[in-house]
């Protein structure tokens, strides 16, 4: 490889060759590092795909302004204690929208994943004015955290 680069660079002068060679080498290095990172990431075991501790941070920064993780505590939204496995709109005493109550959804990891991506699209007319979590990893983590609230 370096030999080819030098041959190409030499007709345009020695100084160009000196600049070009480390530059190409650097790009090759970056490329290889990035590839290695992708391989390591892709081959990590599924157990690391969801992280309830990381999900707790997501919950704190994105959800806790409106939702409590304590049973029976209403903020702007209903408590999310025990949400995984329950029917939409079933926290007693919380004034849900009709859209939410009649959505027919049961909150499991798959319905939560869809809902948290874009609440308004999955439950049109929902009172949850939250634009959605667009990072799949953040969704998986916050769902892992919600699963632990029992
Ligand atoms: C701006 C306030 C707000 C934010 C932020 C918010 N929510 Fe909500 N959420 C609500 C409201 C209000 C409802 C009730 C919706 C309805 O009745 O239409 C709701 C409903 C829900 C429901 C359905 C609960 C049920 O009992 O049917 C889930 C699940 C939920 N939110 C999860 C989350 C998660 C997870 C986050 C953070 C990623 C979040 N929400 C962020 C206000 C919010």
Q: What is the pLDDT of residues 90-122, one digit of tens each?
A: 999 999 999 999 999 999 999 999 999 999 999
Cα 77 to ligand 1 centre (Å): 5
Q: Which carries the bigger pLDDT value, residue 7 or residue 100?
A: 100
Count of structural domains within the chain: 2
DSSP β-bridge partners for residue 87: 106
| CB of residue 88 inside a 6 A radius of ligand 1 | yes
Regarding whether 71 and 39 lie in a shared domain, the answer is no
- For the CA of 126, the nearest atom of ligand 1: 18
DSSP per residue over the chain, as a string?
Answer: -HHHHHHHHGGG-HHHHHHHHHHHHHHHHHHHHHHHHHHHHHTS-GGGT--HHHHHHHIIIIITTTB-SSTT-BSSS---TT-TTSBTT-STT----HHHHTS--B--HHHHHHHHH-HHHHSTT-S--------HHHHHHHHHHHHT--
81 plus 124 within the same structural domain: yes
Same domain, 9 and 55: no
To the nearest 10°, the Cα dihedral for 116, 117, 119, 120?
180
Mean pLDDT, rounded, of the chain:
81
Q: Are residues 30 and 60 in the same domain?
A: no
Rounded distance between C-alpha atoms, residue 115 and residue 64, angstroms = 17
Residue nearest to atom 1 of ligand 1 (CA): 129
Question: Both 76 and 121 in a single domain?
Answer: yes
Q: Which residue has the tokens 């290095």?
A: 29
Query: Is residue 105 in contact with ligand 1, taking CB distance under 6 Å?
Result: no
- The string of DSSP letters for 115-142 reads HHH-HHHHSTT-S--------HHHHHHH
Mark whether 60 and 116 lie in a shared domain: yes
Q: Are both 15 and 79 inside the same structural domain?
A: no
Q: Ligand 1 atom closest to Cα of 125?
A: 18
Tokens 């799949």 appear where? 136
Tokens of 79: 């408590």
Same domain, 31 and 92: no
Residues 21 and 56 in one domain: no
Same domain assignment for residues 37 and 73: no
pLDDT (tens digit, 9 = 90+) per residue, 35-81?
444 444 444 445 556 899 999 999 999 999 999 999 999 999 999 99
Considering the domain architecture, whether residues 125 and 57 belong to the same structural domain is answered as: yes
Within this chain, do residues 58 and 105 fall inside the same structural domain, yes or no?
Answer: yes
pLDDT tens digits for range 23-38: 445 445 555 555 444 4
Structure tokens at 148: 């632990």
How many angstroms does the Cα of residue 67 sit away from the middle of ligand 1? 7
- Could you list the residue range(s) of the whole structural domain that residue 36 is in? 2-43
Indicate which CATH number applies to the domain containing 142: 1.10.760.10
Q: Write down the pTM of the prediction.
A: 0.75
């Amino acid at each position: 490889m370096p030999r080819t680069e030098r041959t190409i660079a030499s007709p345009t002068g020695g100084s160009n060759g000196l600049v070009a060679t480390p530059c190409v080498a650097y790009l090759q290095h970056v490329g290889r590092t990035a590839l290695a990172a992708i391989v390591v990431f892709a081959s990590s075991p599924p157990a690391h795909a969801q992280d309830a501790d990381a999900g707790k941070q997501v919950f704190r920064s994105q959800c806790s302004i409106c939702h409590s993780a304590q049973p029976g505590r209403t903020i702007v939204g209903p408590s999310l204690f025990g949400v995984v496995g329950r029917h939409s709109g079933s926290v007693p005493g919380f004034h849900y929208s009709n859209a939410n109550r009649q959505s027919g959804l049961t909150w499991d990891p798959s319905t939560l994943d869809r809902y948290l991506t874009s609440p308004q699209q999955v439950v049109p007319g929902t009172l949850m004015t939250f634009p959605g979590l667009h990072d799949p990893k953040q969704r998986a983590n916050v769902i892992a955290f919600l699963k632990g609230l029992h």
